[in-house]
Structure 1
């Protein structure tokens, strides 16, 4: 009887040992797979990062090598040109062992919400589709967020409102457009668009002196600023590679904020993807072009990096 009990105990122990070994092997295999996947993801992410940096450097060189520093323009397809001589940087480009997409756009084709006047801000909100009874609140809340004092306007908000959300009014200009989401009344739907609102995100910036480049402003912006259809068509017909944009601003558009034919602040967006990878690396930068000798030197005033997994 004792012999049978010992044999049974040995069998049970053997089974438990086999179960333990099986679990250990499966855990090791799973861990190895995760480790391999993590290593490959790091490899692809690193490759995409350096591809994106290469694309950014290419965009900077393009912006520096401007043969006509008095004019920048967008063509009939909305592609930004520094002059009539250089091929623009736009779209996908095969590069080394991956693909890089580059886009340059003009911050001076956007409304600087730190510097804009009340009427322009109201026109922007009306374009978005904001109801008239909400317009005063949105205007006052933005002004209270930006101004230096703690006294709130009739429909505005200061620290006593924001403290319930764990922060206080900035009382300084916005650093980025996304910061609007911290301001009372401003939602993702208003900023990025929805069935209810037209997006204001593509139309606004926090960079530049507030003036517009007549050669890069889009139809929507010109409409918001009150440019007539006749003046709009006259501007648009100069936007081709042969003409290279207007050499001067039409007098009747100066009063509407269009004061330049070239641009100092530009947005560079670069998205890179390593070959055979689902990982993308995106760089978004705002650069300031400063006149230098026969062209420009570049100062990066804003930088953001994002990893995109797909």
Structure 2
């Protein structure tokens, strides 16, 4: 699977792409949409900062509630730093901004693991009113620990998430954070995080408001499941998402043998390698208690050759 479509919405607002050079489109009310600003990756008519400047000249930024950053020139080589700097420079003009997503690109624009990111924490440090923040792409991504009082949702989509980034997120103070979604990825693309890197989250010493935890798209999905089987944080979750990864019978058995999961509203395991017997046991254990168990895209056959069994995550390159 690849990322083959742009965001349809952000912060409950439909996405609207700001017109390119020479395009004539009627603009909606500033607060009515999530504004998407992007240029052609390969041969743009203008740089991203120029498109952003045109946007700032045409739209009342004081009323904008959601912003989606699309492609910038050569996004597979040029990092997002200039984009981050441009947005930060305009921070005083965005008093109503509540949601920001950085790197909304399809695989045709840049494969997810090629998107060149940077230190994205200035966007959080300079926008204390943000409620939702998301970023796509792990190459060059940095996330040193910080504190943000109002952030409610953090999403990091990658084909490989570095351990240093995971540790930075896990060490951050987000007292209002309810939704954490990390695509941990593959070591082929820099995804070298281990369950121990998430320990402050798993043991419940951080993120006191967390209700939705997604640790997914991982080649070590079984080990993550084993860590979560006894993790204190699980007891206060509504949704646990271990989807899109290489979860097998080993990880499913660990979940069943661990702490009760019957308090969950949903257990999302779609795209997995769990056999029929364990799938049945998961459903028979949890569904009578009212837990929605998503085991779609399951029973996938593992690739096997003389080097052993190979399982694949949903989104890598």
Which bracket does the TM-score occupy, shorter chain normalised? under 0.3
**Greater relative contact order (Cα 8 A, min sep 6): structure 1 or 2?**
1
**Structure with greater helix share of residues:** 1
TM-score of the two chains, using structure 1 as the length reference: 0.23
The structure number with the bigger radius of gyration is 1
TM-score of the two chains, using structure 2 as the length reference: 0.22
